[in-house]
Structure 1
Amino acid sequence: MVNQVPRAPRTLVERDREDGHNRLWNDYFADPPVFPPNLFRRRFRMRKHVFLRIVHTLEERHQFFQQWQDTTGRFGASALQKCTAALRLLAYGTATDSVDDYLRISASLARDSLQHFVEGVVSYFSDDYLRRPNEEDMARLLRDGERRGFPGMMGSIDCIHWRWKNCPLRLNTLAMEELFSRRANKPTLILEAVASQDLLIWHASFGTPGRCNDINVLDRSPLFNDIFEDRAPLVNYIVNGHQYNMGYYLTDGIYPT
């Protein structure tokens, strides 16, 4: 019989989470805040009104972000603390205990906040901000593009590489590892996205191996399936005296004409 080593007793850390909430509020949300809007955008990766809209939506519709009292009458961490913890982990890619000393919440709560934050954003915002445009959306996109001097433009398309830190292909063949490796032999996955000027995402395709360039990604992308299947909306505009009936996306120089 194997003797099991007894687990060390759990240490209770009095974090004073109320102080963490008050510090966060005074730093970024008071009037006036300690840190100006440009520093808020740098650290939260979005503007304050966007962040507050996410916080209020999650607090109203997701039980995890609602503040409850325990049996002693003490309130738990606020929605601001939980959402800030999730965004800091996403923005900086740090460990879950990296926000403990500022926000005064435990590593386990920060990890749960990140999971519920991502699930909540997908559940409550993807129908508006991550979907294919309908006829009304397309008409608005074309009007916006024409007003800016780009008649027929439906949005901008580009790709970004995401580092795959724990890529399991390192254990497989060298050829498979090279397929996902890009710079300095670091495995990456590619995200292709189409976005409009107001930052709505009309198309996203993720998972292409990092060895591919933007043209290879476009060849594998479902972006033009509607055109191939004759389901694309009709777009009529004139440029330099030529009539066109298909929209286009703004790209960088690697794409073909």
Structure 2
Amino acid sequence: MSHAYLMNNYFNPNSVYTEEDFRRRFRMRRHVFERLLRDVQQVNPYFRQKLDRAGRLGFSLHQKVHKEEYLREPNQEDLNWLIRKAEDHGFPGMIGSLDCMHWDWKNCPTGWQVGFNGRSRKPTVMLEAIASYDT
């Protein structure tokens, strides 16, 4: 899907889908989604739009956000800090609490349905989160 199509449907001021449509599909308000995109872009260079080998702009942040990887992996310093904090709370060797969930994506755009098919053969979005003691 092209960046222009995505922006025209969901993110431009006069987009095809209304703010309410966006909230129903993505389970959050558009401005919250945009803030998350900006924050992720600051943390992970993968999400910055770059030139490809031919000198053309590559995928945009909005296009990349649907990939499998969202945030950077923790480095050794991060892991040591998480392990120390978990030990302080009585959980030696633990870096965080993992949670995963599948959400049925009732209003998944037709063109995206093949890429988001879940176990139930319906479009789903899988959310994975690891939370440290303070998040």
Give the TM-score taking structure 2 as reference length: 0.50
- Structure 1 residue ranges, 4+ long, deviating more than 2 angstroms after superposition: none
- Find out whether 1:65 has 2:47 as its counterpart: yes
Instruction: Provide the rounded CA distance (Å) in 1 between the counterparts of 2:37 and 2:134.
Output: 25
**Greater share of helix:** 1
> Which string of whole-angstrom CA distances, capped at 9 and with x for unpartnered residues, describes residues 77-107 of structure 1?
1101112x2xxxxxxxxxxxxxxxxxxxxxx
Q: How does 1:135-154 map to 2 (within 5 A)?
A: none
Q: How does 1:17-36 map to 2 (within 5 A)?
A: 20-36=2-18
Equivalent position to 2:21, from 20, 39, 42? 39
Aligned residues: 79
Identity %: 35
Q: How does 1:33-182 map to 2 (within 5 A)?
A: 33-83=15-65, 85=66, 113-115=67-69, 117=70, 119=71
Contiguous gaps of at least 5 residues in structure 2: 75-100, 103-132
**Counterpart residue type for residue 63 of structure 1:** P
The offset of 1:203, in angstroms, is: 8.4
Give the TM-score taking structure 1 as reference length: 0.28
Instruction: Provide the rounded CA distance (Å) in 2 between the counterparts of 1:23 and 1:114.
Output: 21
> Which string of whole-angstrom CA distances, capped at 9 and with x for unpartnered residues, describes residues 165-203 of structure 1?
xxxxxxxxxxxxxxxxxxxxxxxxxxxxxxxxxxxxx98
| Higher RCO structure, 1 or 2 (CA under 8 Å, sep 6+) | 2
Instruction: Provide the rounded CA distance (Å) in 1 between the counterparts of 2:35 and 2:63.
Output: 15
The offset of 1:61, in angstroms, is: 2.6
Instruction: Provide the rounded CA distance (Å) in 1 between the counterparts of 2:26 and 2:43.
Output: 22
